[in-house]
Amino acid sequence: MNTEALKDLLYRLADDQLILGHRNSEWNGLGPILEEDIAFSSMAQDKLGHSLQLYTLLHQLGEAEPDTVAFTRNAPQFHCTQLVELPIGEYDFSLIRHFLFDHAEILRFEALSHSHYEPLAQVARKLKGELKYHILHANTWIKQLGSSTEEAIERLQNSLNYTLPYALGLFEKTAAEDEIIAAGIFVGEDEIKTRWQENITKILRQTALELPDAATLTPVYGGRTGEHTEHLQPLLDEMAEVFRVDPTAEW
Amino acid sequence: MDKATILTWLEAVKDPEIPVLSLVDLGVIRDVVISETGRVTVKMTPTFSGCPAMDYMQRDVVQTLQAHGIADVTTEMSFEEPWDTNMVSEKGREALKNFGLAPPPAYQGILDLDILEYAQCPHCNSHDTELRTPFGATLCRSMHYCNNCRQLFEQFKPV
């Protein structure tokens, strides 16, 4: 097995967690109701924990310490999708992003819990249990708001239409794809995408929302190879501010 | 010095966020290994992967054993045997309930959504409760409402 292909997969997983974790944390103090403030903050904490476990696996494969990896790279070195770096916007957008992202994420970690790379399988078994609560949270609100007032439905529908091409970018394949599938490390993006479409369709059918036909959309690719929106670098600058002033600071 | 004695000493180390629950009863201490040279390794597994209390727990384990005269002691974090709430002991469940936190329901096989939403009120024991939000004051807690005694309560959430 080529370690570079494995590292590529781990960076994609870890960077998505770190960046969306940071974005979720921006709801701290701003949530539309106290419970949502706590929910997004808790999910942020989970996602940062997930990224730490994945960066630790990378460290075991010879990469730098997790903090160094998280705080010293610039945007072109990040492998996250553009979906996760978009600003939090209004609550409807953040909810739709959370719904689309976490449904893909839980399938990814379920599949990875059978990975032939045992250290990753162990971490995946742990994370998928925690992700159930993210799914429960997303489904509850999508079902509730997606069949409530005209304004709620219209806002969610607009966000869904806007976000879906970015969400399809989650399944962007890299040059490592064939190799990680052949080595039994991961089932591959196509497989996850098919299951994801089934799962989100099941939930959306219980609402007044309509899932746009993915076949007619152009997925937003590029994130996996370091092409990012103008929103990522300011996020990194803010996240790493303390570390860049004093790498030994504890807080 | 043997494993059983060390485990008894470790009963004194409590979860920093739930000070009535020992780490042994919480289930995060998976094993204690004593080498031929007398080095003690406490094998631990995290509750939640983002739990900020894990660093404190490791530090408390080391300090407690050092206070008992064990100079050479380390902790080892591993996901080999991942933690789930079925690992919380009976004694631990009782301690949680007395603390006012509904203990996590034991489950078999796959943890489905019905179990996530279920909680028994720790105040009046009613089953007529509803999940208010799966997230609470710490990563390991969810918030529920009891329709019987009309109290909001927290549950140590099952994972």
* A89-101 residues labelled b (16+ CB within 10 A) or e (exposed): eebbbbbbbbbbb
What was the pLDDT predicted at A250? 79
* Kind of pairing between the strands at B141-146 and B152-156: antiparallel
C-alpha closest to that of A120 among A27, A57, A51: A57
Burial (0-12, 13-18, 19+ Cβ within 10 Å), A188: middle
Is A214 in contact with A164 (CB distance < 8 Å)?
yes
C-alpha closest to that of A6 among A64, A80, A43, A60: A60
CA distance A26 to A42: 12
* Kind of pairing between the strands at B141-146 and B129-133: antiparallel
pLDDT in tens, A181-196: 999 999 999 999 999 9
What was the pLDDT predicted at B110? 78
pLDDT in tens, B107-151: 887 777 778 888 999 999 999 999 999 999 888 999 999 999 999
Task: Work out the number of other CB atoms within 10 angstroms of the CB of residue A22.
Answer: 20
- A3-245 classified as CATH 1.20.1260.10: yes
Per CB-CB distance under 8 Å, the chain B contacts of A50 are 49-50
Q: Which two tokens stand for residue B145?
A: 């409402």
% of chain A surpassing 70 pLDDT: 99
Is B50 in contact with B139 (CB distance < 8 Å)?
yes
Report the pLDDT averaged over residues A66-78.
Answer: 96
Closest Cβ–Cβ partner in B48, B78, B80 for A130: B48
B133 with A39: Cβ contact below 8 A: yes
pLDDT at B77 over 80: yes
pLDDT at A37 over 80: yes
Is B102 in contact with B121 (CB distance < 8 Å)?
yes
What was the pLDDT predicted at A206? 97
Topology adopted by domain B3-83: GMP Synthetase; Chain A, domain 3 (3.30.300)
Give CA torsion, residues B96, B102, B103, B106, to 10 deg. Answer: 170
pLDDT in tens, B30-60: 999 999 999 999 999 999 988 888 889 999 9
pLDDT at A246 over 80: yes
Name the residue ranges covered by the structural domains of chain B.
3-83, 86-156
For chain B, give the number of residues: 159
Confidence of residue B17 (pLDDT cuts 50, 70, 90): confident
Name the residue ranges covered by the structural domains of chain A.
3-245
Distance from CA of A53 to the nearest CA of B (A): 7
Distance from CA of B150 to the nearest CA of A (A): 18
What was the pLDDT predicted at B114? 76
